[in-house]
Protein backbone atom coordinates (compact mmCIF):
# COMPACT_ATOMS: atom_id res chain seq x y z
CA UNK A 1 0.00 0.00 0.00
CA UNK A 2 1.28 3.48 -0.88
CA UNK A 3 0.70 5.70 2.16
CA UNK A 4 0.95 9.38 2.80
CA UNK A 5 1.84 10.00 6.45
CA UNK A 6 1.54 13.26 8.38
CA UNK A 7 3.11 14.29 11.70
CA UNK A 8 2.48 17.57 13.56
CA UNK A 9 2.50 16.66 17.26
CA UNK A 10 5.09 19.21 18.40
CA UNK A 11 7.44 21.54 16.54
CA UNK A 12 8.00 19.69 13.27
CA UNK A 13 5.55 19.62 10.36
CA UNK A 14 6.30 16.45 8.45
CA UNK A 15 4.95 14.47 5.52
CA UNK A 16 6.23 11.24 3.98
CA UNK A 17 5.34 8.81 1.24
CA UNK A 18 6.04 5.21 2.27
CA UNK A 19 5.41 1.95 0.42
CA UNK A 20 4.16 -1.07 2.40
CA UNK A 21 5.19 0.50 5.71
CA UNK A 22 8.84 -0.24 4.91
CA UNK A 23 10.19 1.73 1.95
CA UNK A 24 10.53 5.49 2.33
CA UNK A 25 9.99 7.23 -1.01
CA UNK A 26 10.19 10.67 0.59
CA UNK A 27 10.31 12.18 4.07
CA UNK A 28 9.99 15.94 4.44
CA UNK A 29 10.43 17.67 7.80
CA UNK A 30 9.80 21.41 8.22
CA UNK A 31 11.31 22.37 11.56
CA UNK A 32 10.05 25.29 13.61
CA UNK A 33 13.02 25.13 15.97
CA UNK A 34 14.47 28.53 15.05
CA UNK A 35 11.12 30.24 15.78
CA UNK A 36 10.69 28.60 19.19
CA UNK A 37 14.37 29.05 20.10
CA UNK A 38 13.68 32.78 20.62
CA UNK A 39 11.31 31.83 23.47
CA UNK A 40 13.52 29.10 24.94
CA UNK A 41 10.99 26.34 24.23
CA UNK A 42 7.97 25.36 22.16
CA UNK A 43 5.12 27.89 22.27
CA UNK A 44 1.97 25.84 21.51
CA UNK A 45 -0.02 28.63 19.82
CA UNK A 46 2.89 29.52 17.53
CA UNK A 47 3.42 25.83 16.76
CA UNK A 48 -0.21 25.45 15.59
CA UNK A 49 0.02 28.49 13.32
CA UNK A 50 3.30 27.36 11.81
CA UNK A 51 1.90 23.88 11.17
CA UNK A 52 -1.00 25.52 9.31
CA UNK A 53 1.41 27.45 7.11
CA UNK A 54 3.62 24.44 6.41
CA UNK A 55 1.30 21.46 6.10
CA UNK A 56 0.21 21.82 2.45
CA UNK A 57 3.76 22.63 1.41
CA UNK A 58 5.29 19.54 3.04
CA UNK A 59 2.59 17.32 1.52
CA UNK A 60 3.30 18.76 -1.95
CA UNK A 61 7.03 18.29 -1.46
CA UNK A 62 6.63 14.73 -0.19
CA UNK A 63 4.56 13.77 -3.26
CA UNK A 64 6.94 15.52 -5.62
CA UNK A 65 10.06 13.96 -4.12
CA UNK A 66 8.46 10.52 -4.18
CA UNK A 67 7.60 11.05 -7.85
CA UNK A 68 3.93 10.26 -7.29
CA UNK A 69 0.67 12.18 -7.57
CA UNK A 70 -2.06 12.39 -4.94
CA UNK A 71 -4.11 10.03 -7.13
CA UNK A 72 -1.51 7.28 -6.47
CA UNK A 73 -1.88 7.48 -2.68
CA UNK A 74 -3.93 4.61 -1.24
CA UNK A 75 -4.25 5.68 2.39
CA UNK A 76 -3.42 8.43 4.91
CA UNK A 77 -1.81 7.87 8.31
CA UNK A 78 -1.62 10.73 10.79
CA UNK A 79 -0.28 11.26 14.31
CA UNK A 80 -3.32 11.35 16.58
CA UNK A 81 -1.38 11.85 19.83
CA UNK A 82 0.23 12.28 22.25
CA UNK A 83 1.30 15.88 21.69
CA UNK A 84 0.04 19.46 21.66
CA UNK A 85 -3.70 19.49 20.96
CA UNK A 86 -3.68 22.45 18.57
CA UNK A 87 -0.63 21.16 16.73
CA UNK A 88 -2.08 17.65 16.34
CA UNK A 89 -5.35 19.07 14.99
CA UNK A 90 -3.59 20.64 12.01
CA UNK A 91 -2.18 17.32 10.79
CA UNK A 92 -5.44 15.53 11.58
CA UNK A 93 -7.54 18.08 9.66
CA UNK A 94 -5.24 17.89 6.64
CA UNK A 95 -5.33 14.08 6.74
CA UNK A 96 -9.12 14.05 6.97
CA UNK A 97 -9.37 16.45 4.02
CA UNK A 98 -7.13 14.26 1.87
CA UNK A 99 -8.93 11.08 2.92
CA UNK A 100 -12.38 12.57 2.27
CA UNK A 101 -11.41 14.28 -0.99
CA UNK A 102 -9.66 11.23 -2.45
CA UNK A 103 -11.94 8.61 -0.83
CA UNK A 104 -8.99 6.78 0.65
CA UNK A 105 -8.79 5.23 4.16
CA UNK A 106 -7.55 7.22 7.14
CA UNK A 107 -5.81 5.94 10.26
CA UNK A 108 -4.76 7.74 13.44
CA UNK A 109 -1.42 6.61 14.88
CA UNK A 110 0.25 6.91 18.28
CA UNK A 111 3.42 9.01 17.96
CA UNK A 112 5.38 6.81 20.38
CA UNK A 113 4.39 3.71 18.43
CA UNK A 114 5.84 5.45 15.38
CA UNK A 115 9.11 6.06 17.23
CA UNK A 116 9.30 2.40 18.38
CA UNK A 117 8.71 1.04 14.88
CA UNK A 118 10.78 3.56 12.87
CA UNK A 119 13.63 1.05 12.90
CA UNK A 120 11.68 -1.16 10.43
CA UNK A 121 12.27 1.49 7.75
CA UNK A 122 15.95 0.57 7.89
CA UNK A 123 16.13 -3.06 8.99
CA UNK A 124 13.94 -5.91 10.14
CA UNK A 125 13.94 -6.76 13.86
CA UNK A 126 12.45 -9.99 15.17
CA UNK A 127 9.85 -9.93 17.92
CA UNK A 128 9.93 -9.90 20.86
CA UNK A 129 12.30 -7.05 21.59
CA UNK A 130 12.89 -4.59 24.41
CA UNK A 131 12.42 -0.95 23.40
CA UNK A 132 13.61 2.20 25.09
CA UNK A 133 11.66 5.23 23.88
CA UNK A 134 13.35 8.46 24.90
CA UNK A 135 12.06 11.78 23.63
CA UNK A 136 10.99 15.22 24.82
CA UNK A 137 7.86 13.77 26.37
CA UNK A 138 8.73 10.11 27.03
CA UNK A 139 11.17 7.85 28.79
CA UNK A 140 9.60 4.43 28.60
CA UNK A 141 10.85 0.88 28.56
CA UNK A 142 8.61 -1.55 26.71
CA UNK A 143 8.51 -5.21 25.90
CA UNK A 144 7.32 -5.41 22.27
CA UNK A 145 5.77 -8.74 21.24
CA UNK A 146 4.43 -7.53 17.90
CA UNK A 147 2.96 -4.41 16.32
CA UNK A 148 0.24 -3.27 18.71
CA UNK A 149 1.48 -5.59 21.49
CA UNK A 150 3.34 -3.43 23.97
CA UNK A 151 3.90 -4.02 27.69
CA UNK A 152 5.21 -1.08 29.69
CA UNK A 153 8.08 -2.26 31.90
CA UNK A 154 9.00 1.13 33.30
CA UNK A 155 8.70 4.85 32.75
CA UNK A 156 9.81 8.16 34.11
CA UNK A 157 8.17 9.21 37.34
CA UNK A 158 8.84 12.90 36.59
CA UNK A 159 10.71 14.51 33.68
CA UNK A 160 11.34 12.71 30.39
CA UNK A 161 14.97 12.28 29.36
CA UNK A 162 14.71 14.88 26.58
CA UNK A 163 12.94 17.26 28.95
CA UNK A 164 15.83 16.86 31.39
CA UNK A 165 18.34 17.67 28.64
CA UNK A 166 16.30 20.72 27.60
CA UNK A 167 15.73 22.01 31.15
CA UNK A 168 19.38 21.56 32.19
CA UNK A 169 20.51 23.27 28.99
CA UNK A 170 18.24 26.21 29.73
CA UNK A 171 19.49 26.61 33.28
CA UNK A 172 23.12 26.63 32.16
CA UNK A 173 22.35 29.18 29.45
CA UNK A 174 22.33 26.99 26.33
CA UNK A 175 19.91 27.56 23.46
CA UNK A 176 16.82 25.44 22.77
CA UNK A 177 16.74 22.56 21.92
CA UNK A 178 19.14 21.74 24.70
CA UNK A 179 19.78 18.07 23.98
CA UNK A 180 21.77 18.82 20.86
CA UNK A 181 23.72 21.61 22.57
CA UNK A 182 24.66 19.42 25.56
CA UNK A 183 25.65 16.57 23.24
CA UNK A 184 27.93 18.90 21.28
CA UNK A 185 29.59 20.39 24.40
CA UNK A 186 30.03 16.94 25.96
CA UNK A 187 32.42 15.97 23.20
CA UNK A 188 35.06 18.27 24.69
CA UNK A 189 34.44 17.44 28.34
CA UNK A 190 35.32 14.89 31.01
CA UNK A 191 32.26 12.78 31.87
CA UNK A 192 33.75 11.98 35.28
CA UNK A 193 34.57 15.56 36.25
CA UNK A 194 31.42 16.01 38.38
CA UNK A 195 29.78 13.12 40.23
CA UNK A 196 26.10 13.70 39.56
CA UNK A 197 23.60 11.26 41.10
CA UNK A 198 22.25 8.25 39.17
CA UNK A 199 18.58 8.48 40.22
CA UNK A 200 16.66 5.23 40.91
CA UNK A 201 19.57 3.17 39.60
CA UNK A 202 19.22 0.54 42.31
CA UNK A 203 15.53 0.79 43.20
CA UNK A 204 14.69 -2.58 41.66
CA UNK A 205 12.16 -1.13 39.17
CA UNK A 206 12.51 -0.17 35.52
CA UNK A 207 11.40 3.39 36.26
CA UNK A 208 13.41 6.54 35.70
CA UNK A 209 13.59 9.87 37.47
CA UNK A 210 15.42 12.87 36.07
CA UNK A 211 14.15 15.87 37.99
CA UNK A 212 16.57 15.35 40.90
CA UNK A 213 19.44 15.31 38.45
CA UNK A 214 18.32 18.68 37.14
CA UNK A 215 18.29 19.99 40.73
CA UNK A 216 21.78 18.55 41.27
CA UNK A 217 23.04 20.50 38.25
CA UNK A 218 21.37 23.66 39.57
CA UNK A 219 22.94 23.18 43.02
CA UNK A 220 26.34 22.54 41.45
CA UNK A 221 26.31 25.68 39.30
CA UNK A 222 25.10 27.85 42.17
CA UNK A 223 28.09 26.67 44.26
CA UNK A 224 30.51 26.71 41.33
CA UNK A 225 29.49 29.51 38.92
CA UNK A 226 32.61 28.86 36.84
CA UNK A 227 31.08 25.51 35.85
CA UNK A 228 28.83 27.46 33.45
CA UNK A 229 31.81 29.23 31.92
CA UNK A 230 35.20 27.55 31.50
CA UNK A 231 33.84 24.32 32.97
CA UNK A 232 30.84 24.01 30.68
CA UNK A 233 32.19 21.08 28.68
CA UNK A 234 32.83 19.05 31.85
CA UNK A 235 29.42 20.01 33.21
CA UNK A 236 27.64 18.93 30.01
CA UNK A 237 29.66 15.71 29.76
CA UNK A 238 29.06 14.81 33.43
CA UNK A 239 25.31 15.42 33.17
CA UNK A 240 25.05 13.49 29.90
CA UNK A 241 27.03 10.60 31.40
CA UNK A 242 24.63 10.38 34.35
CA UNK A 243 21.56 10.25 32.06
CA UNK A 244 23.15 7.74 29.70
CA UNK A 245 24.32 5.46 32.52
CA UNK A 246 20.85 5.29 34.06
CA UNK A 247 19.17 4.70 30.69
CA UNK A 248 21.66 2.00 29.73
CA UNK A 249 21.71 0.18 33.08
CA UNK A 250 17.92 0.15 33.48
CA UNK A 251 17.59 -1.16 29.93
CA UNK A 252 20.24 -3.79 30.69
CA UNK A 253 18.27 -4.85 33.78
CA UNK A 254 15.08 -5.24 31.70
CA UNK A 255 16.97 -7.38 29.20
CA UNK A 256 18.48 -9.49 32.00
CA UNK A 257 15.09 -10.03 33.63
CA UNK A 258 13.13 -10.84 30.45
CA UNK A 259 15.95 -12.73 28.74
CA UNK A 260 15.05 -10.92 25.49
CA UNK A 261 18.37 -10.11 23.85
CA UNK A 262 17.06 -7.75 21.15
CA UNK A 263 16.97 -4.02 21.84
CA UNK A 264 15.59 -1.02 19.97
CA UNK A 265 16.41 2.49 21.16
CA UNK A 266 14.14 5.19 19.71
CA UNK A 267 13.03 8.82 19.98
CA UNK A 268 14.83 12.16 19.74
CA UNK A 269 17.23 11.41 22.63
CA UNK A 270 18.39 8.31 20.71
CA UNK A 271 20.27 10.86 18.54
CA UNK A 272 22.54 11.46 21.53
CA UNK A 273 26.07 10.34 20.75
CA UNK A 274 26.81 9.36 24.37
CA UNK A 275 23.69 7.18 24.57
CA UNK A 276 24.41 5.54 21.21
CA UNK A 277 27.95 4.80 22.43
CA UNK A 278 26.99 3.42 25.83
CA UNK A 279 24.21 1.25 24.36
CA UNK A 280 26.60 -0.06 21.69
CA UNK A 281 29.23 -0.92 24.32
CA UNK A 282 26.68 -2.68 26.53
CA UNK A 283 25.19 -4.60 23.58
CA UNK A 284 28.60 -5.67 22.31
CA UNK A 285 29.72 -6.89 25.73
CA UNK A 286 26.49 -8.80 26.39
CA UNK A 287 25.62 -10.33 23.03
CA UNK A 288 22.55 -8.13 22.60
CA UNK A 289 21.29 -7.35 19.09
CA UNK A 290 21.00 -3.54 19.15
CA UNK A 291 19.06 -1.49 16.62
CA UNK A 292 19.05 2.30 16.77
CA UNK A 293 17.60 4.08 13.75
CA UNK A 294 19.76 6.69 12.06
CA UNK A 295 19.32 10.13 13.68
CA UNK A 296 16.88 11.43 11.03
CA UNK A 297 14.51 8.57 11.91
CA UNK A 298 15.01 9.01 15.68
CA UNK A 299 13.95 12.67 15.58
CA UNK A 300 10.32 13.47 14.77
CA UNK A 301 9.37 12.58 11.19
CA UNK A 302 6.31 11.35 9.31
CA UNK A 303 7.83 8.22 7.75
CA UNK A 304 7.75 6.46 11.14
CA UNK A 305 3.99 7.11 11.34
CA UNK A 306 3.51 5.08 8.16
CA UNK A 307 4.89 1.89 9.78
CA UNK A 308 2.04 1.31 12.25
CA UNK A 309 -0.32 3.11 9.82
CA UNK A 310 0.30 0.54 7.10
CA UNK A 311 -0.02 -2.33 9.56
CA UNK A 312 -3.39 -1.16 10.96
CA UNK A 313 -4.87 -0.31 7.55
CA UNK A 314 -3.65 -3.67 6.22
CA UNK A 315 -5.36 -5.38 9.16
CA UNK A 316 -8.63 -3.71 8.20
CA UNK A 317 -8.62 -1.09 10.93
CA UNK A 318 -9.60 2.41 9.83
CA UNK A 319 -10.37 5.66 11.67
CA UNK A 320 -13.60 7.56 11.07
CA UNK A 321 -13.95 11.27 10.38
CA UNK A 322 -14.69 11.72 14.07
CA UNK A 323 -10.97 11.07 14.68
CA UNK A 324 -9.88 13.54 17.36
CA UNK A 325 -6.53 14.59 18.79
CA UNK A 326 -5.43 12.66 21.89
CA UNK A 327 -2.95 14.97 23.69
CA UNK A 328 -2.41 12.22 26.30
CA UNK A 329 -2.36 8.67 24.92
CA UNK A 330 -0.37 5.97 26.69
CA UNK A 331 0.63 3.11 24.40
O1 LIG B 1 11.30 12.56 19.56
P2 LIG B 1 11.55 14.01 19.56
O3 LIG B 1 12.12 14.64 18.31
O4 LIG B 1 10.24 14.80 19.92
C5 LIG B 1 9.35 14.32 20.88
O6 LIG B 1 8.58 13.40 20.57
O7 LIG B 1 9.48 14.83 22.03
O8 LIG B 1 12.50 14.33 20.80
C9 LIG B 1 12.90 15.63 21.10
C10 LIG B 1 13.84 15.60 22.27
C11 LIG B 1 14.20 16.98 22.77
O12 LIG B 1 14.06 17.00 24.17
C13 LIG B 1 15.65 17.12 22.36
O14 LIG B 1 16.41 17.94 23.21
C15 LIG B 1 16.12 15.69 22.42
O16 LIG B 1 15.05 14.94 21.91
N17 LIG B 1 17.32 15.48 21.61
C18 LIG B 1 18.50 15.15 22.14
C19 LIG B 1 19.43 15.11 21.06
N20 LIG B 1 18.75 15.41 19.92
C21 LIG B 1 17.46 15.63 20.28
N22 LIG B 1 18.86 14.89 23.40
C23 LIG B 1 20.14 14.58 23.63
N24 LIG B 1 21.09 14.54 22.66
C25 LIG B 1 20.78 14.78 21.37
N26 LIG B 1 21.71 14.73 20.42
ZN1 LIG C 1 8.80 12.33 19.03
**Using a 6 Å cutoff on CB, does residue 82 contact ligand 1?**
no
Distance CA 159, CA 176 (A): 17
Q: Does a structural domain hold residue 278?
A: yes
Q: Is residue 256 part of a domain?
A: yes
138 is in an annotated binding site: no
Residues 287 and 303 in one domain: no
Answer yes or no: is the C-beta of 113 below 6 A from any ligand 1 atom. no
For residue 13, what is the domain's CATH number?
3.30.420.40
**pLDDT, average across residues 240-249:** 98
Residue 96 has what pLDDT? 98
Given the CA of residue 161, which atom of ligand 1 is nearest to it? 12
DSSP 156: B
| pLDDT for residue 37 | 87
Calculate how far, in angstroms, residue 237's C-alpha sits from the geometric centre of ligand 2: 24
Backbone angles phi, psi at 56, to 5 degrees: -65, -35
* Residue 300 is assigned to a ligand binding site: yes
**Are the beta carbons of 33 and 42 closer than 8 angstroms?**
no
Neighbours of 124 (CB within 10 A): 8
* pLDDT (0 to 100) of residue 52: 97
Q: How far is the CA of 111 from the centre of ligand 2 (A)?
A: 6
For residues 188 and 233, is the Cβ–Cβ distance under 8 A? yes
10 lines ligand 1 (CB under 6 A): yes
Number of Cβ within 10 Å of residue 318's Cβ equals 14
- The total number of structural domains in the chain stands at 2
User: Are 44 and 145 within one domain?
Assistant: no
Q: Choose which residue among 91, 116, 136, 304 to substitute to test ligand 1 binding: the one with the highest number of ligand atoms within 8 A of its C-beta.
A: 136
| Residue minimizing CA distance to atom 26 of ligand 1 | 272
Nearest CA to ligand 1 atom 23: 179
Same domain, residue pair 220 and 256: yes
Q: Is the pLDDT of residue 40 over 90?
A: no
The pLDDT score that the predictor gives to residue 270 is: 98
Q: Are residues 248 and 282 in the same domain?
A: yes
Residue 24 marked as a ligand binder: no
Whether the ω angle into residue 145 lies within 30 degrees of 0, i.e. cis, is no
Q: Tell me the pLDDT band of 326, cut-offs 50, 70 and 90.
A: very high
Instruction: Give the burial class of 149: count Cβ atoms within 10 A of its Cβ; 0-12 exposed, 13-18 middle, 19 or more buried.
Output: exposed
Per-residue pLDDT at 176: 87
Q: Is the CB of 89 within 6 Å of ligand 1?
A: no
Are 210 and 230 within one domain? yes
Rounded CA-CA distance 240/317 in Å is: 41
User: How confident is the model over 74-98, as a mean pLDDT?
Assistant: 98
Q: Which helix (H) or strand (E) holds 298?
A: helix 295-298
CA dihedral 44, 48, 51, 52 (to 10 degrees): -170
DSSP secondary structure string for all residues of 203-253: SSSS-B--HHHHHHHHHHHHH-GGGGTTTHHHHHHHHHHHHHHHHHHHHHH
Segment 52-76 mean pLDDT: 98
Residues 284 and 227 in one domain: yes
ipTM of the assembly? 0.99
Judge if 274 and 234 occupy the same domain: yes
Same domain as 208, residue 104: no
Residues 256-260 have a mean pLDDT of 98
Domain range spanning residue 258? 127-292
Q: How far is the CA of 23 from the centre of ligand 1 (A)?
A: 24
> Exposed, middle or buried, 321 (CB in 10 Å: 0-12/13-18/19+)?
exposed
Are 201 and 208 in contact, with CB atoms under 8 Å apart? no
Cβ atoms of 197 and 213 within 8 Å: the answer is yes
Same domain, 151 and 132: yes
Query: 274 a known binding residue?
Result: no
10 plus 140 within the same structural domain: no
134 and 59 within one domain: no
> Mapping DSSP to helix (H, G, I), strand (E, B) and coil, where does residue 90 land?
helix
Residues 34 and 104 in one domain: yes
Give domain status of residue 282, yes or no.
yes
Strand partners, 106: 76
Residue 230 included in any domain: yes
Write the burial class of residue 87 (CB in 10 Å: 0-12 exposed, 13-18 middle, 19+ buried).
Answer: buried
Kindly give the number of the ligand 1 atom that is closest to the alpha carbon of 115: 1
How high is the mean pLDDT of the chain?
Answer: 97
Residue 17, CA distances (Å) to 56, 60, 107, 123, 198 in order: 14, 11, 15, 18, 42
pLDDT band per the 50, 70, 90 thresholds, residue 177 = confident
Give backbone dihedrals phi and psi of 71, rounded to 5 degrees, phi first.
-65, -20
Amino acid sequence: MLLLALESSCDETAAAVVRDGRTVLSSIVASQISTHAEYGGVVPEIASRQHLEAVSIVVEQALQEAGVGIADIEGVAVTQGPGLAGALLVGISAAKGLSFGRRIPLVGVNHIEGHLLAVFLERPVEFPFIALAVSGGHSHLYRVDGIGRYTTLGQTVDDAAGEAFDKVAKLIGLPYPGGVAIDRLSAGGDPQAIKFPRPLLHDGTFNFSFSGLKTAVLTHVSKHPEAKEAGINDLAASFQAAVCEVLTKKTAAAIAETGIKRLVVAGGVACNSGLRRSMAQYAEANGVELSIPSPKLCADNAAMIAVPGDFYLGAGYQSGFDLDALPVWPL
